[in-house]
Structure 1
Amino acid sequence: MPLSFPILDPVAFTIGPFAIRWYALAYVAGLLGGWLYAKRLAAKADLWGTLRQPKPTEIDDLIVWVALGVVLGGRTGYVLFYNFSAYLQNPLEIFAVWHGGMSFHGGFLGAVLALVLFARSRGLNALALLDMAAVVTPIGLFFGRIANFINGELWGRPAPDFPYAVVFPHAGPEPRHPSQLYEALGEGLILFIVMAVAARKFGFKRPGLLGGIFVLGYAVARIVCEFFREPDAQLGFLFGSSVEGLGGGITMGMLLSVPMAVVGAAFIVMAARGYTRPAKTVEAA
């Protein structure tokens, strides 16, 4: 028997006329957890070598820049890649973020741009700052996917024979993979552990290395999870078609993750060979 979707209210609590949703709290938890973890990483001198460590006050400012980059980039990415024709017909809906619609890939690019601009404005090494962000980002990914599950959105593909399949309230009577939880595990918890171990082993002395590990790791986890996730209704499968239970079609999430994997692998190779280290660090080595 499939599992019934638990009765979960997308609204966590209300304050007068304002409804505070779990999805918003997930963003807050991710940003707050990332901010606290980043402050700890920035305070450890042995992780930075000859690179200048960000000051505690700079981390406080950085979180604001990243939050804006994630929200603006995530919304822009969703509009452009996932539902452009609908927003073209109703442009004002672009600003109705409370109706949902965020793209990780867009939010990722927005955060990268914010980090690079912040690093240049404060005289910090941009790649090392991106490395630090890569270590803390899985926290937000984990909470975000849990919020997707609570909202009963972004559900998985039909799985009639899977013992832990879930019947989602807005996805018809078919039992489906709880793909949101798979993503919380792969893109969130597992990637968090991988990044924490890599940060302890390598630190930020090889700028771009940890960022490359994160980008490659996320791309692999996302592509794997996409085999269990139902593609967006307005897009469907870009190539191929679904196979019952697992599926064999190519989705937008897969397609956008391929260049991420290539870029991640390239940065790992360049950082490992020392191409990304500042001149003074290379001379000292």
Structure 2
Amino acid sequence: MPAAIPFPDLSPELFSIEIGNFAFALRWYALAYIAGILIGWRLAVAAVKRPALWPSGTPPMTPQQVEAFLTWLILGIVLGGRLGYVLFYQPGYYLDHPGEILMLWQGGMAFHGGFLGVAVAGLAFCWRHKIPVLQAGDMMALATPPGLLLGRLANFINAELWGRPSDIPWAVIFPGSMAQDCPGPAGLVELGGMVLCARHPSQLYEAALEGLVLGAVLIWLAWRRGALQRPGRVMGVFFAGYGLARIIVELFREADPQFITPDNPLGHVISLSPAIGLSMGQLLSLPMVVLGAALLTAARRRTA
């Protein structure tokens, strides 16, 4: 059997405190959200403090307005992410259990829902404060990849949203991934006298593409190539870049269990054959690619 990498000894909790009947735990996932928002905020502030980066030397917001927008942003992320998960991934379950919709501590967030929530919050904030929408969108796009990077690393630490079974040398044996989870010989490995299932660490693929690479490209475009001078360009690169990265990584990521059936082992929501189709993540990412391409086309035609 091929070799694989045992999952490191990582706990989903950074630390926990128990005093009598009181218990508190700080989870890596929560810390990723907090750190991602703070880093994104500092990136946005750094950008608006550089008037030369923006058209006519006028940033869309002041640093104080960026700080005020944080509350709107957090509400958009949390409410949009949760409702997106409920509507896109498990509508039937939550229709039968509506009382669990707001139980965020049980897990279940969707990036595409969070994106829609942030879009609604951003449009409302811009309308209220008379802020140029495209330039504000460029600023938010620039600030988003750090949160994606940290969020995907937290997914890895939580041993969730793992990849498909694989024999690659860097395949990981995630906790709870047993031999019976491998539909074929790919991924079967022996560890400690047990036969287990090794998988693509797809969370790390997403962290690298959606967070590290995309974030570096956006910073380079904004600070070195004057991309913020053409409103919509940075936002267009973000939408198209995220959509393409997600579509690619979905090829290696295990489908959500509610979409997997004996006749549809890869969990396609649009299936052309047992081996060819689109996952829910790919289906939701396609409009982002189209929107990103449209924004880039419009920005190219727009005079700075």
Q: Give TM-score scaled by structure 2 length.
A: 0.86
Alignment match of 2:147 (pick from 140, 145, 155):
140
Does 2:142 align with 1:118?
no
Change (3 A) 1:15 1:32: farther
Indicate if the aligned counterparts of 1:43 and 1:53 stay in contact, CA closer than 8 A: no
State the shift of 1:240 in Å. 4.8
Which whole-Å deviations, capped at 9, do the CAs of 1:139-165 have from their partners, x for residues lacking one? 000000000000000000010x20010
Aligned match of 1:277? none
Q: Structure 1 residues 167-176 or 208-217, which shifts more?
A: 167-176
How many angstroms apart in 2 are the aligned matches of 1:48 and 1:207?
9
Aligned match of 2:7? 5
Does 2:42 align with 1:36?
yes
How many angstroms apart in 1 are the aligned matches of 2:248 and 2:100?
32
For structure 1, list consecutive stretches of 5 or more residues without a partner in the other structure.
Answer: 275-281
Which SS does the other structure have where 1:256 is aligned? helix
Indicate if the aligned counterparts of 2:6 and 2:172 stay in contact, CA closer than 8 A: yes
Does 2:252 align with 1:228?
yes
Indicate if the aligned counterparts of 2:173 and 2:197 stay in contact, CA closer than 8 A: yes
Aligned match of 2:268? 237
Counterpart mapping for 1:201-220 below 5 A: 201-220=225-244
Indicate if the aligned counterparts of 1:62 and 1:118 stay in contact, CA closer than 8 A: yes
Which SS does the other structure have where 1:19 is aligned? strand
Indicate if the aligned counterparts of 2:60 and 2:132 stay in contact, CA closer than 8 A: no
Does 2:298 align with 1:270?
yes
Q: Report the AA paired with residue 2 of structure 1.
A: A
Aligned match of 2:192? none
Which whole-Å deviations, capped at 9, do the CAs of 1:113-133 have from their partners, x for residues lacking one? 111111111121111011011
Q: Give TM-score scaled by structure 1 length.
A: 0.91
Indicate if the aligned counterparts of 1:45 and 1:53 stay in contact, CA closer than 8 A: no
Indicate if the aligned counterparts of 1:52 and 1:124 stay in contact, CA closer than 8 A: no
Which whole-Å deviations, capped at 9, do the CAs of 1:205-240 have from their partners, x for residues lacking one? 221111111000000000000000001001222225
Does 2:286 align with 1:258?
yes
Aligned match of 1:167? 173
Q: Report the AA paired with residue 123 of structure 1.
A: K
How many angstroms apart in 1 are the aligned matches of 2:177 and 2:129?
48
Greater fraction strand: 2
For structure 2, list consecutive stretches of 5 or more residues without a partner in the other structure.
Answer: 179-195, 260-266
Which whole-Å deviations, capped at 9, do the CAs of 1:13-69 have from their partners, x for residues lacking one? 124411111100000010010011111001000011224441111111111111110
State the shift of 1:241 in Å. 6.2
Change (3 A) 1:249 1:8: farther
Which SS does the other structure have where 2:176 is aligned? coil
How many angstroms apart in 2 are the aligned matches of 1:120 and 1:126?
8
Alignment match of 2:30 (pick from 4, 10, 24):
24
Q: Structure 1 residues 219-228 or 55-64, which shifts more?
A: 55-64
Indicate if the aligned counterparts of 1:2 and 1:165 stay in contact, CA closer than 8 A: yes
Indicate if the aligned counterparts of 1:27 and 1:140 stay in contact, CA closer than 8 A: yes
State the shift of 1:170 in Å. 2.3
CA RMSD of aligned residues (A): 1.4
Does 2:101 align with 1:94?
yes
Which SS does the other structure have where 2:25 is aligned? strand
Q: Structure 1 residues 142-151 or 11-20, which shifts more?
A: 11-20
Of structures 1 and 2, the larger Rg is shown by 2
Aligned pairs, number: 271
Aligned match of 1:198? 221
How many angstroms apart in 2 are the aligned matches of 1:228 and 1:242?
16
Alignment match of 1:103 (pick from 102, 110, 116):
110
How many angstroms apart in 2 are the aligned matches of 1:52 and 1:216?
24
Aligned match of 1:279? none
